[in-house]
Amino acid sequence: MLYASLQNSILAFQNHYFKQDSNYITLEHILNIRNVSKIYENAGHKLTVLDQINFSIQTGTTVAITGPSGSGKTTLLGLCAGLDRSSSGTVSLNGIDLDHLTEDERAAVRNRYVGFIFQNFQLLPTLTALENVMVPLELRGERNIKKHALDLLDKVGLADRSGHYPVQLSGGEQQRVSLARAFSNQPAILFADEPTGNLDAETSDKVIKLLFDLNKEAGTTLVIVTHDLDLAAKTNRMIKLKGGVVVADLELNHA
């Protein structure tokens, strides 16, 4: 507790003095999870999905959250990314305490700092590949973004498919569009939920390589939720969940 309050004070101090003039991270820890629990209540029964989780993620690092099915990985991702509210504890993203924000304010935070990659791609079916990539920037009200979006599509090797709808693309292509979309708003932190879960091995490798390359280039913090240990091994750090608690938090040395 003492550590947590100290940490928060430091964060507040840093936030006060290091006013950001870009999305690039000037804070040491981009994500702070303190005593976070998630409890679902159903017909009088309480189900604790996450129990007193604590960890912080350093800016610019890559982290894997792993664990068996039902261990609470996706729930944790939802809380970290501000998609859901914790039952207790605090989630602080880029110095912003998400627990006190309304859903719309959290949406604005997501749009500003967060990128997403989903297991089932979640491209908007009625938008072309290019339009899908442009949406996060359009949401911010930015203009003249077409070139930037096309560049990103080019980086994922789909510049010639920019006018295609998701249904006209293969699974691997859809996930590549999804990568381009995730990086389009130059997020401070990128969350990837089982990014290769729906892809074959060969396509997976290509997508993962692309993900790490783009991430390195942008200097984004990357949080991957996966039960694929090979993929997890590519990150700097692996947090293992089981039964809603952190059972291991390992630094991975790639030197």
Partner 1 sequence: MPELNFNIKRPINYSWLVKMAWRDSRKNRSRLLLFMSSIILGIAALVAVYSFKANLQRDIDEQAKTLTGADLIIQSRRPLSPAVTALLDTLGLHRAKEKNFVSMVYFPKGEGSRLVEVKALTGDYPFYGSIETKPVAAAKTFKKGRRALVDHTLMLQYQAKPGDSIKIGNLSFAIEGSLESVPGQTGITSMVTPVVYIPLEYLEQTGLMQLGSRIQSRYFYQYKDVSGVNSDLKRHQQLLDKEQLSYETVATKKESTSRAFKNLNQFLALSGFIALLLGCIGVGTSIQVYIKEKLGAIATLRCLGLNAKEAFLIYLIQVGVIGLLGAIAGAFLGTVLQFLLPVVLKDFIPVELSMGVSWAAIGQGLATGLVISVLFAMPSLISVRSISPLNAIRASFEEAKPRRDFLKWLVYLLIIAFVYGFTYLQMNNGMQALAFLVGIVLSFLLLIGQAKLLMVILRKMIPQRMAYVWRQGFANLYRPNNQTMLLSVAIGLSTLFIVTLYLVQGVLLNKVAVSGSETKSNMVLFDIQPAQKEPLVKLLKAEHLPVLGQVPIVTMRILEINGKTAAQYEDTTAKEPGNRTPRAFSGEIRATYQADLRPTELLTEGKWTGTTTENGTVFISLEKAYADRIKVKIGDSIVFDVQGLPLKTKVGSFRSVNWNTVQPNFRVAFPTGVLEQAPQFYVFMTNVPAAERSADLQSKVLRQFPNVSIVNLDMIVKTIENLLDKINFVIRFMAGFSMATGWIVLLSSVMSSKGQRLKESVLLRTMGASRKQIMTITGLEYLFLGFIATAAGIILALLGSWALAEFALQSNYAPELLPLLVFLFAIPLLVMLTGLYSSRSVLNQPPLQILRKES
Residues of this chain that interact with partner 1 (CB under 8 A) are 11-12, 15-16, 19-20, 40-42, 74, 77-78, 81, 83-84, 92, 95-97, 100-101, 103-105, 107-112, 114, 116, 118-119, 122-127, 131, 135-136, 138-141, 165, 167, 181, 193
Q: How far is the CB of 160 from partner 1 (least distance, A)?
A: 21
Q: How far is the CB of 165 from partner 1 (least distance, A)?
A: 8
Instruction: Pick the closest to residue 189 from 106, 111, 73, 99 (CA basis).
Output: 111
- For partner 1, the closer of residues 118 and 212 by Cβ is 118
With both helix axes pointing from N to C terminus, report the angle between 146-155 and 129-139 in degrees, rounded to the nearest 10.
Answer: 130
- For partner 1, the closer of residues 15 and 56 by Cβ is 15
Q: How far is the CB of 141 from partner 1 (least distance, A)?
A: 5
Pairing relationship of beta strands 245-251 and 45-58 according to DSSP bridges: unpaired
- For partner 1, the closer of residues 60 and 82 by Cβ is 82
Which run of H or of E encompasses 174? helix 171-184
Pairing relationship of beta strands 88-93 and 96-97 according to DSSP bridges: antiparallel
Largest CA distance in the chain: 55
Chain centre to alpha carbon of residue 177: 16
The token pair at 138 is 């359009």
- For partner 1, the closer of residues 105 and 248 by Cβ is 105
- For partner 1, the closer of residues 181 and 240 by Cβ is 181
Q: How far is the CB of 161 from partner 1 (least distance, A)?
A: 17
The amino acid present at 215, given as its one-letter code, is N
Residue with tokens 């914790």: 86
The token pair at 221 is 């913090």
- For partner 1, the closer of residues 22 and 253 by Cβ is 22
Q: How far is the CB of 97 from partner 1 (least distance, A)?
A: 5
Q: How far is the CB of 21 from partner 1 (least distance, A)?
A: 9
Q: Beta partners for 97?
A: 92
Using CA atoms, how far apart are residues 167 and 204, in angstroms rounded to an integer? 19
The token pair at 205 is 């490798």
220 DSSP assignment? -
